[in-house]
A and B are shown apart, each in its own frame.
Chain A
Amino acid sequence: MDLSIHDLVKRFGRITALDHVSLDVARGSFVCFLGPSGCGKTTLLRVIAGLEEADAGSIRLGEADLSSIPARARNFGVVFQSYSLFPNMTAARNVGYGLECRHWEKERTRARIAEMLDLVHLSDQAEKLPAQMSGGQQQRIALARALAPDPSALLLDEPLSALDAKVREELRIEIRAVQKRLGITTIMVTHDQEEALAMADLIVVMNKGRIEQIGTPQQLYREPASAFVADFIGRMNVLPVEAGAQGAMSFGGTPLHIDHPARDGATMLGVRPEAVSLTARDGTGANILPATVRSVSFLGNVTRVEVEPDARRETSIMVELHGTSKVPEQGEQLAISIPAEALRVLS
């Protein structure tokens, strides 16, 4: 069953947390809500879970309208950032809690608990209390607990952000594997773009209560629709441009060639740092801009070079060099080359 969200609005006092949000989540897909803190992503998840009530709009699961169904009857599995395992219950009892609430038979409950603990590879921790387990283990138990009652969707609210970097990476892979195995529709809220890029089938980028863009990780990276998305996902150089006749663009007086069709009134072009290359001042080709090296940071496999183009000194452009290519010196006069296909028009 697809989850379909239509025109949701949620206000907290004078703040609009959700500003007419509409979205469709296909059955079995893994969707990430991505955005900075305060963008409304968590509120959207909580409204879907039934933990908050929207002021307007509808949520449907297949044919059923969810708005009149209280959280406890929605049958969604929710995993919280703070684990929120019941501290007075063992891992096994935590996993069995949802089944207890649904009055499952003892035998069936026991079998399901064992199955779920096995799913998250923690069968040996069944009798431990949450306080006796590590953060990663607790969050896996929380995942098992959410999945035990066979929910119609899994909702994850920043499930990894309280964990160490290494554990986070392990769990990222594990959550994705479990999700694929069960084929369960999953929505995860995160502010970590890397996490979203690595896990999601579809990413919903949110900002100020609105959806900025929806797309696959590749789409968002290659074709960001706005400066916000471009900057939030990866790094993006933003070039202010003057639009001329018939879609011609110029940057500080230098004409720029672009492959993508320019919309009228476009004032900003974006280019990823790794798409820009350094070349000699007398180099030939399209989009060669003379520039001066402002700073160089050597980061191992990557070298970041910040240059200021002669055409417009106040706009600095970041260039990423990979491998062991020749590293320029600070103050060196050279030129940058921007391939026409790498330039995007940003709204």
Chain B
Amino acid sequence: MSLAAETTAPPAARRGGGLTGDRSVTLGLSALAALPILLFLLLPLTGILLRGFETPDGFGIGNFTETFGAERFWKLVYNSIAMSLTATLAAVGLAYFYAYALQRAKIPFKPFLRIAVLTPLFAPSLVQAQGLILLLGRNGVLNRFLGFDIDIYGFWGTAIANALYAFPYAYLILSAALAVADARLYESAEALGAGPLRIFRDVTLPATRFGLAAAIFVVFTLVMTDFGNPMVIGGDFSVLATEVYNQVIGQAQFGLGAVIGIVLLVPAILAKLIEKRISRKQHASVTAQSKPLVVKPSLRRDVAFSVYAYVVVALILSVLAIVVVASFVRLWPYNMSFTLKHYEFDVQNGTAPLWNSVGVSLATAIVGVAITGLTAIVVQKFRNPLTGPLSLLAILPAAVPGMVLGLGYVLTFNEPSNPLNVLYGSFALIVILSVYYNHAHAFLISSTSLKQIGSTFDEASTTLGGSAVTTLRKVTLPLLWPTLLGVGVFYFMRTMVSLSAVIFLVTPSTQLAAVSVLQLSDRGAVNQAAAFSVCIMAIVIACLLLVRTILWLAGAKNVTLIR
């Protein structure tokens, strides 16, 4: 028996509940995990606050009174809210019935419909505006070739572009809400003589009201803080998000930019808090006794929803497709002959921004997976009094719009007195920004997966004589790697297409593809901008296919890649 030799184990190694019982080690690990979050998330956010209150005569509320006193500011607030409400209603309304069609009706080619509706996530976040202009703009298909006279620039263009942009996000939330249903409720409603409309009103809608509310809050924040679409299609129509950019980049008015940043941050945090409260209630509504709903065929309903779903998909895909077409024609709309010349990228820095984007996204994926994976492991496996605050910090980025975080980075790291100022203007800072911008979601994915792996494997390994490191290396990581790969894909995808977070940090020497699309559109180089967008989409799709193949070969089939 090996016991006698082991009795000299240090008392510090007592207790076996988690991976290790040593208090000071677990506290140290938590503090270590919290440090970079404090530095690269909390510090920039405080930076915005500080700058907001900084005036030429010391600290004060001068910036606020100046901003709030301007008529233009209130016009922008009105514009932002009106446009965001319109886009939110449209996106959530359309997405609800789209998700309903996929979850509660029998329609052909569901896998296609499920993927197709998510394709906007693979494109730079201003592609909707790009596509809308090509379809409905001054030189768009409808006005140019079909004789319409539509003016898309402004409120409606921005609202429609943003509705299309937010649609996949709304769909993902609503689809999850509609996926769970208790068949017993539906059976009793039917037995009591309720018709389909009544059942929808009295059963379906109440059961999904939490998901619906969550989708509304998420979409509203997303639209309110989106920067690319209003920039491209807004014309004279300005919103708060574009105003921040104009103040900071255009006029170097950091203080005033910071004030609007705060104005954008507050509703975002409120929305996130409400959404969290709501989603907590959602889980309680389905119990272990619930019986899953089986969709019965109904010809009329199925035909109606098929038509609806395919019309919606056609709309979403047409906006993307027109961009692809534009990238292959000589000079939209005057010379529509086929050419590949826009893919030569003889403008600006050539293909450099594209490769920069790939490099930054890959680096973000690697660094992000390492950081969120380790943070999740520390939170789940090394419990101590710091665990609560640490996990709160880890999901805090969910409430911070990319635009605001980017602004915080500029305000904090371009300060010469900040020792981290050396990072300013480098790819490294863009990578760090991308890591923390997407930190919350990546952390939650890793954390959930770790929770599913559960503590019994740790306990089994411990009782068999495995140390914390052995357990991690031989048990936890081999079980976790498909999820971590999924997290990597998430980081890569989001960083490739993200615009609003990085817009403040790019310089001519650190140009990124999504920013190039914006600048080329701005200059009227429609075809080249389209080609850039297509390249971004192609790279993201190639990455998804590659990873899906790897996972398939490894036998890990249950990993969600598109989030």
Contact = CB atoms under 8 A, between A and B. Distances in A.
Report whether chain A binds chain B: yes
Interface of A: 49-53, 61, 64-65, 67-78, 80, 82, 84-88, 97-98, 100-102, 145-146, 149-150, 152, 155
Interface of B: 1-4, 6-7, 9, 11, 13-17, 21, 456-457, 459-467, 470, 474-475, 478-479
A129 to B, nearest CB: 10
Contact of A75 (B6, B13, B457, B466): B6
Contact of A69 (B1, B6, B17, B461): B6
Given A49-B16, A50-B462, 17 more contacts: A51-B459, A52-B17, A53-B14, A53-B15, A53-B16, A69-B3, A73-B9, A77-B464, A78-B459, A88-B475, A97-B461, A98-B465, A101-B461, A101-B465, A145-B460, A145-B464, A155-B463
A49 B478 contact: no
B557 to A, nearest CB: 12
A72 B467 contact: yes
> Top 8 nearest A-B pairs by Cβ distance?
A71-B16, A98-B464, A73-B6, A101-B465, A84-B456, A78-B463, A53-B15, A88-B478
Task: Kindly name the residue among A53, A69, A71 whose own CB sees the greatest number of chain B CB atoms within 10 A.
Answer: A71
A85 B15 CA distance: 23
B1 A75 contact: yes
10 contacts: A50-B16, A51-B17, A68-B11, A69-B9, A73-B6, A85-B460, A86-B460, A88-B475, A98-B464, A101-B470
Nearest to A101: B465
Contacts of A69: 3, 6-7, 9
Contact of B9 (A51, A68, A84, A87): A68
Contact of B460 (A52, A78, A100): A78
Contacts of B6: 69, 73-75
B462 A64 contact: no
Given A75-B6, A152-B1, A68 B464 contact: no
B465 to A, nearest CB: 4
Nearest to B456: A84
B460 A70 contact: no
A91 to B, nearest CB: 14
B362 to A, nearest CB: 27
What is the interface of chain A mostly: helix, strand, loop, or mixed? Answer: loop
A97 B474 CA distance: 9
A73 B2 CA distance: 8
A149 B11 CA distance: 24
A67 B16 CA distance: 11
B16 A64 contact: no
A82 B474 CA distance: 20
B494 to A, nearest CB: 29
Contacts of A97: 461, 464, 466, 474
A149 B14 contact: no
A72 B4 contact: no
Contact of A64 (B7, B14, B459, B463): B7
B310 to A, nearest CB: 39
Contact of B3 (A61, A68, A155): A61
B456 A70 contact: no
B11 to A, nearest CB: 5
Contact of A49 (B2, B463, B479): B463
Given A51-B463, A78-B460, A78-B463, A70 B2 contact: no
A100 B457 CA distance: 16
A74 B2 CA distance: 8
Nearest to A54: B15
Contacts of A65: 7
B482 to A, nearest CB: 11
Contacts of B467: 72, 101
B12 to A, nearest CB: 10
A86 B466 contact: no
Contacts of B463: 49-51, 71-72, 74, 76-78, 146, 155
- Which residue, A49, A75, A77, A80, has most C-beta atoms of chain B within 10 A? A75
Contacts of A64: 3-4, 7
Nearest to B479: A88
Nearest to B16: A71
Contacts of B478: 88
B466 to A, nearest CB: 5
A72 B475 contact: no
A218 to B, nearest CB: 33
Contacts of A102: 2, 465
B475 A51 contact: no
Contact of A84 (B11, B21, B459, B466): B459
B460 A84 contact: yes
For B9, B460, B470, B479, the residue with the greatest tally of chain A CB atoms inside 10 Å of its CB is: B460
Contacts of A78: 459-460, 463
A46 to B, nearest CB: 9
Contacts of B479: 86-88
A97 B461 CA distance: 8
B456 A82 contact: yes
Contacts of A51: 16-17, 459, 462-463
A49 B463 CA distance: 7
Nearest to B480: A88
Contacts of A82: 456
A185 to B, nearest CB: 11
A98 B471 CA distance: 11
A67 B11 CA distance: 9
Given A68-B9, A70-B21, A101-B466, A86 B457 contact: yes
Most chain A CB within a 10 A radius of its CB, from B1, B456, B457, B464: B464
Contacts of B457: 84, 86
Nearest to A77: B463
